[in-house]
Structure 1
Amino acid sequence: MKAPVRLAALLAGALLSTVSARAAPVLLISVDGLRPADIVEAEARGVAVPNLRRMMATGAWASGVTGILPTLTYPSHTTLLTGVTPARHGIDNNISFDPLNINQVGWQWYAADVRVPTLWSAARAAGLRTVNVHWPVSVGAPVDVNLPQIWRTGHDDDRKLLRALATPGILDTLEHDLGRYAQGIDESVEADQNRIRFAEALITREKPALTTIYLASVDHVEHQFGPGTPQAFAAIASNDAMIGQLVATARKAQPGVTVVVVSDHGFEAVTTDVNIYAPFIAAGLIGFGTDGRVASWEAEPWLMGGSAAIVLARPKDTALASKVSALLDKLAADPEMGIARIIDRAAIAKLGGARSASFMIEFKPGFEAGKVPTAAKTTPSSYKGMHGYFPTGRAMDASLFVDGPNLTRRGNLGVIDERAIAPSIARILGVRLPDAEVRPAF
């Protein structure tokens, strides 16, 4: 029995050596909320993005990237690393479903919740070195040098939390030369510039096969001021300058690096918050205790920006499902609720959405899910821009710009599937990502 074991080990080692030998490094940069047309039509829109335009001229780009359900940051970034929908990878929303509000608005920070292999784990299996700076769902990820994304309040205790969760000693080393690392909750342009400096230092020091870095400021500004505004265009220009800076450093450290710039979703301008909680409270589907906190629930909305999932406490209870379905039909008939459509479990499954959702609501453009259960039916929106709508509309399209020596296609790739990005990167790295649902696009 020992000989076959040795033979299997030798074959595995030979395969690992073959995969590693043909690996080419990849720098994966995410610009949250970057709309493709803001770069493709940059001159007409007055957006200064020379670095991304240069990538378009010499590499490949997509006129649109069709996203997943829902078009939110954490589910989308997990798809970008796995090539599968939320139904398979398990990150269904930015925030965890918390019907009794005990998790203090906890986000889905933890890589342990991802159910399928990622580019990080595929690289590790192939013996390749990886670096991560602030990518969503990266706490505890199989990354060699990891500065994961996490925050709680923005208090200085968050710095201790990050230090405990990052690769041991890395923050002390980097902060000695670069100053304090940006707080996780800080999504300003200045915070992104800070993270770029840390990424530059890590790429120069580690020369990793795969680097992932996430920039939040475009999304932050588009929420605050709306997409297509002077403030949004200024943030995009700043991000382009950061990308140029980081790419120059990466190409100096690793001349053969392939640069992949992505976003996770598009954006809609919004004006109106819709209180989707109140009808469920009025119907007795959510109950409160004397302390004013949720004490019981049978069905509750799980907010997703431009959409909301409806989760049932007993999904197989047909009477409960019928009651909720009738309530949703009534809400959809009320024009003030701004509901574009409602889909059931079968349609959610077809779109690869949350397996825990029995229904999903999509709001019309201009409407978003309000967060305050005691608010009026509709109120002026808390944000000026939002995403999270169904991926079937072009306004939710994400971006892709890629340049490097190992592309199979160049120029305009047309509209591609977001799930095609991870297997494309896996091909360039020379690693296996067998769970990916579609073929590589570049």
Structure 2
Amino acid sequence: MKNLNRWRGQLSAVLGLLGCLALFGLPLASVHAASPQRHVVIVSIDGLAAYLVDDPKVPLPTIRKLARQGSIVDGGMTVSNPSVTWPNHTTLVTGVRPEKHGVLANGVLVRGAVGMPTVIDSHRDQSDLVRVPTIVDAAHAAGLSTAEVNWPCTRGSKSLDDQFPDVPNAVQYTTPRLRRELIELGLLDDETHASFNKNSVVSRDHIWTEAACHLIRERQPNLLLVHLLNVDYMHHKRGPQTSAGYTANAYADMCLARILAALDDAGIREQTTLIVVSDHGFISTPKAIRPNVVLRQAGLLTVDAGKLSEARVHVVPEGGIGLVYCTRPGEAAVDAEKFKEMFKGQEGVADVLLPNQYDQVGLQHPREYRQSPDAILVAAEGYSVSGSVNGDTLVASNTEAGTSIGSHGFLSSLPKMKAMCILSGAGIRQGGHLETIENIDVAPTVAMLLGLDYPNVDGKPLSAALLNE
């Protein structure tokens, strides 16, 4: 009977992979034998810029030890545009850029009716956000066990055995058995998100870390995704390379050490590859530009009770860039050109990109993808983009504009936007140094480590970091 059940499970896994590929219109590839005795853990420390790994003021003993024992990408890993959290976490697990996977913000960009502003809706399932299969889908379909803790764009995934997703109301969408176990462990007070939401971001990183450790000890998933947030929060609030920032860096390193200890406890350290990454870098932004103020003064948007109510043209801020939306379809191209004329050369503005330049930044033309903006406003280094409609000047201090003292979201070509990438453990060369890579290379590397077929990626395995087995 056990053999029969095992055969049924394997058949179901193969059929699942075929169905997954067919669903997305992808060619069917031969299914390689996955490696059930191998494990990959990806830990993303949100906002830990690559340059911090070499900053002697940053206490990162665990991270630096992993780099010595494994391979590190010197100078950091080039991320996707826009250099924000959800798009880049999706790139990490798909091996393709946002122009293909479709995630352009921390949610779905929903264009309104004519004259109405575009809004970001974060209350969405993976199926609403991501247009291609992920490496998790491939692993699950091949019969491997999978789990995630606070990973973006995974809500409602059918490919995760356990999940605690990075979405609003996360506890509500946590796998029931994991939610019950976290309550029993005292990590969650109850089954409501309201009680979890009362925790500080430091406490949440603790809960997410301990949840990951629990999954490692109890389930030993073949593929585990973990996302920690406190570094990003503190870099926004206090800035990178500050005392508060260094403290957050050190705490993340301690959380990583806890995960390593759990691998030892589970007896799978020797069979596990650890990939430690970040999703983007960070820079200080003491000033901000407020394009919507200028658009309000030009009569191109309307403000009601201090808030944007209607707009012919408006800007959705993404840190170091602003996504420009023109709401009259027949006139959008002309309005975008006029927007460029208004802002090009102004203080704090590095560039304004129009759709014919989107191939340079890995985005689709708005006529091909409705979420794509009609233009992209690029801030100069030291300035962030504010969405504020209030005030009288384009340039303001970050305090007056209501923006963060530390920001990301800048074009990925900016050196300080590069992300950390370290590979260590099973199958990884010791003392390896890789030249700059893109984060599209992570998913195909995971596929090779786990013995998965994962076609249709833009990246390639990091062969220079892998042992010949």
TM-score, normalised by the number of residues in structure 1 = 0.87
**1:348 aligned residue:** 358
**1:423 aligned residue:** 444
* Cα deviations by residue, 1:170-195 (Å, 9 ceiling, x for unpaired): 21222112332683685622321221
Query: Pairwise CA RMSD of aligned residues?
Result: 2.7
Alignment pair present for 1:50 and 2:70: no
Q: Which amino acid aligns with 2:67?
A: M
CA distance in 1, matches of 2:202, 2:57: 19
> Gapped runs of 5+ residues in structure 2?
1-10, 18-28, 190-194, 366-371
**1:19 aligned residue:** 33
- Out of 258, 269, 275, the position equivalent to 2:290 is 275
CA distance in 2, matches of 1:277, 1:105: 17
CA distance in 1, matches of 2:313, 2:430: 48
CA distance in 2, matches of 1:59, 1:84: 25
Q: Which amino acid aligns with 1:265?
A: H
Q: Which amino acid aligns with 2:452?
A: V
The 5-angstrom pairing of residues 19-168 of structure 1 reads 19-21=33-35, 24-39=38-53, 41-42=54-55, 45-63=56-74, 64-98=76-110, 106-107=121-122, 109-112=124-127, 113-141=129-157, 142-151=159-168, 161-168=169-176
**Local SS of the residue matching 2:315:** strand
Q: Compared with structure 1, are the counterparts of its residues 10 and 98 closer, same or farther at alpha carbon in structure 2 (3 Å cutoff)?
A: closer
The 5-angstrom pairing of residues 199-218 of structure 1 reads 199-218=212-231
Q: 1:339 deviation in Å? A: 0.4
Tell me which moved more, 136-145 or 326-335.
326-335
Q: Compared with structure 1, are the counterparts of its residues 106 and 187 closer, same or farther at alpha carbon in structure 2 (3 Å cutoff)?
A: farther
CA distance in 2, matches of 1:78, 1:196: 20
Q: Which amino acid aligns with 1:437?
A: D
Paired residue total: 417
Q: 1:272 deviation in Å? A: 1.2
Q: Compared with structure 1, are the counterparts of its residues 222 and 354 closer, same or farther at alpha carbon in structure 2 (3 Å cutoff)?
A: farther
Q: 1:18 deviation in Å? A: 5.0
- Out of 240, 247, 252, the position equivalent to 2:260 is 247
Could you list the runs of 4 or more consecutive aligned residues of structure 1 that deviate by over 6 angstroms after TM superposition? 13-17, 101-104
CA distance in 1, matches of 2:294, 2:425: 53
* Cα deviations by residue, 1:263-291 (Å, 9 ceiling, x for unpaired): 000011011121111233333433456x7
Partners of 1:82 and 1:116 within 8 A in 2 = yes
CA distance in 2, matches of 1:72, 1:179: 28
> Gapped runs of 5+ residues in structure 1?
1-8, 152-160
Q: Which amino acid aligns with 1:53?
A: R
The 5-angstrom pairing of residues 407-422 of structure 1 reads 407=428, 411-422=432-443
Q: Compared with structure 1, are the counterparts of its residues 12 and 197 closer, same or farther at alpha carbon in structure 2 (3 Å cutoff)?
A: closer
* Cα deviations by residue, 1:258-316 (Å, 9 ceiling, x for unpaired): 11100000011011121111233333433456x7765543332121110011123345x
Q: Compared with structure 1, are the counterparts of its residues 24 and 305 closer, same or farther at alpha carbon in structure 2 (3 Å cutoff)?
A: same
CA distance in 2, matches of 1:351, 1:373: 27
Q: Compared with structure 1, are the counterparts of its residues 293 and 224 closer, same or farther at alpha carbon in structure 2 (3 Å cutoff)?
A: closer
CA distance in 1, matches of 2:35, 2:92: 24
Partners of 2:117 and 2:311 within 8 A in 1 = no
CA distance in 1, matches of 2:12, 2:296: 63
Q: Compared with structure 1, are the counterparts of its residues 344 and 111 closer, same or farther at alpha carbon in structure 2 (3 Å cutoff)?
A: same
**Local SS of the residue matching 1:170:** helix
CA distance in 1, matches of 2:117, 2:336: 24
- Out of 309, 315, 320, the position equivalent to 1:301 is 315
- Out of 460, 464, 467, the position equivalent to 1:439 is 460
Alignment pair present for 1:259 and 2:274: yes
